Structures are given as structure tokens and as C-alpha cells.
Amino acid sequence: MSGPRQMISLGDRLARGMLIALTVMSIVLLVAPSLIVIAISFEPRGYIAFPPSGFSLRWYWALLERQQLLDSILVSLRISVMVMVVCLVLGIPAAFAGTRGRFPAKTAFNAFLLAPQMMPGMVIGIASLFFGAYISFRASDLMLVLSLSVFCLPFVVRIVMARLAGLDPLLDEASANLGAGKFETFFRVTLPQLAPAAFAGAAFTFIEAFDNVTVSLFTSDVRARPLPVELYYLVQFESSPLIAAISSLEIGLSLVVMLVIARAVGLERFGR
């Protein structure tokens, strides 16, 4: 059992201190602004004020009359779903190869897979734009989907790899022994066990693709802007609580997705 109080190691104390600091920081920097934004969105007047002078859903209704905004939400939803599908279809086999495969330069392959995560989104956005210009490929929905997929792929790959590394390789042998070929084993044994991880990776990818500005700014179609880009332009000309209303909806969406993940896999299983 743990000793008396003065026996607590320095490391433990530091850890506790860090934990408190981190909690305070995330409340101050993450939760508080979100709550303020949500509060502001209920402002009945035409300008931003905190605390709000009253409670009204006026700006939420106003949202429904802004055709351009509604269109951009649809664009974002469509793009995010496509990015999610691309990342799953490419990410799961890539993670599989990176974990189970035996081939030369596997380490380099894995580093390459995860590299986009180390790169600022803006770099990926600009690079895509320039490269696209070079091969005469204009900023478009397809371009946006591709560039966002590059950016998001590591989410899926990392989570799925972590799960794969934890799977018992004997299960594959058991499956083969019972008569299943390689593909059948993958679909019947490996994939079902990857499902929670793939699901979580997909959800993260969806959220990221839905509110990514850095990449989208450079690669989205000018005539069909996704929501984050639309908002980016909007805030430059308009500072009504409308922006707060949209942001609140986005916060709500993220929360819902997180809750769904938490129910499906347990949040604590991430990051590993």
C-alpha cells in the first residue's frame, strides 16, 4: 500500500500539479469560450454582447433564411462523409500493412503514413493548391476531399494500428485452422475486432473534416464553399450573433459525436 503523505514521490506530485494545471487550462481555454459562444448565440439584439441581454432563438431562425450558409453546411456534410469513407477505405488496409506486413522500409512506410499529422494543415493546403495548378487540377470538391483525406488519414491509421497491435495473432491461426482463407479471416475475425477503432477514427475524421479551415481555405471550390470557409469569410463582414449560433450548433455536433464514440468504445481507449 502507499506510504504516508510525505512519501509521495516528486514525480507523483508533479503529475498531480500538471493534472490540475491542465484541467484548469482546458476549462479556461476550451470550455469557457464555448459556453460564452453558446450564451452569445441567444442574444436578442443585433450585435455581440456578453452576457447576453436576454434569451431568444432569433439567430437560429435567421440561419434558416441564409441560403448560402445552408448550402455550405450541405457541402461540408457531403465532403466530410466522403473524406471519412476515403480515410476508412485507405486507412484500414494501410494500418494493416503497417502493422502485420513484412516488407522492406516498413518503418519508412509507417512514418510516411503518419507524416501529415506532423505537418500544419496550411502547408498541406498550399502544397495541394500549387501541385494542383501544376497538373491543371483546379480547387474543387474532389480536390478538397483528396487534400482533407491526406490530412485526416493519420487519425484512422493511428487508432486502427493501435488496436491491431493489441489483437492476438493466434486468432488468425485459429481461423485458418478452422478452414478460413486469408480474406475470409480478415473479414470474419480481424475486421469485427477493429470495428470500434475504425468507428472512432471515422468519427474523428468526420469532425476534423467538418470544421477544418487551414486546408479547406486553399483547396475548396470557390462556388461551393464548405462551412468553415464560409464562416471565415462571414466573420470579416459581419459580427452578429449569427456566427455564435452556427458555432453553437457545431459545438453541439462535436459533443454528440464524442458521446456516440464514448458509448461505442470508451473515450479512454484513444490516444494509445
Partner 1 sequence: MNQLIIDGVTKQFGALKVLQSCDLTVERGSVVTLLGPSGCGKTTLLRSIAGFVTPDAGRIRVKGQDISRLPPNRRDVGYVFQNYALFPHLTCRDNIAYGLVVRRVPKAEIARRVSQALDLIALAAFADRYPKQLSGGQQQRVAIARALVLEPQVLLLDEPFNALDAQLRLSMQVELRKLIDRVGITSIFVTHDQQEAMALSDRVAIMRGGRIEQIGSPLEIYDRPRSCFVADFIGRANLMPTQVRAGRTEGPQAIAAALPDGPATLVARPENIDLTPGSGPGWPGKVTFLTALGPVIEYEVDCGFSVPVRAALPRHAGVETFEPGALVTARIRDEAAAVVLPGEPNHA
Of 36 and 180, the one with the shorter C-beta distance to partner 1 is 180
Q: Within 10 A of 82 (CB to CB), how many other CB atoms are there? A: 18
Of 74 and 174, the one with the shorter C-beta distance to partner 1 is 174
Of 159 and 242, the one with the shorter C-beta distance to partner 1 is 159
CB of 267 to partner 1, least distance (A): 21
CB of 268 to partner 1, least distance (A): 19
Of 169 and 271, the one with the shorter C-beta distance to partner 1 is 169
Is residue 181 a contact point for partner 1 (CB under 8 A)? yes
Assigned C-alpha cell, 230: 464560409
**DSSP characters for 201-267?**
HHHHHHHHHHH--TTHHHHS-TTS--HHHHHHHHHHH--SHHHHHHHHHHHHHHHHHHHHHHHHT-G
Comparing CA positions, the residue from 24, 27, 48, 25 lying closest to residue 38 is 48
CB of 196 to partner 1, least distance (A): 10
CB of 262 to partner 1, least distance (A): 20
CB of 1 to partner 1, least distance (A): 28
Region near partner 1 per CB under 8 A, out of 103-111, 132-140, 176-184, 248-256 = 176-184
Of 11 and 179, the one with the shorter C-beta distance to partner 1 is 179
Of 134 and 183, the one with the shorter C-beta distance to partner 1 is 183
Is residue 262 a contact partner of residue 55, using CB atoms and an 8 Å limit?
no
Is residue 189 a contact point for partner 1 (CB under 8 A)? yes
Residues 6+ away with beta carbon under 8 Å from 91: 153, 155, 156, 157, 160, 198, 201
- Over the window 136 to 175, marking each residue x when it contacts partner 1 by CB under 8 A and - when it does not, the resulting string is --------------------------------x-xx-xxx
Is residue 202 a contact partner of residue 156, using CB atoms and an 8 Å limit?
yes
Is residue 156 a contact partner of residue 95, using CB atoms and an 8 Å limit?
yes
- DSSP 8-state symbol, 269: G
With CB under 8 A as the contact rule, the residue among 38, 127, 180, 258 that binds partner 1 is 180
With CB under 8 A as the contact rule, the residue among 193, 214, 240, 254 that binds partner 1 is 193
Residues 6+ away with beta carbon under 8 Å from 241: 40, 41, 42, 43, 45, 46, 47, 48, 52, 59
Binding site for partner 1 (CB under 8 A): 168, 170-171, 173-181, 184, 188-189, 192-193
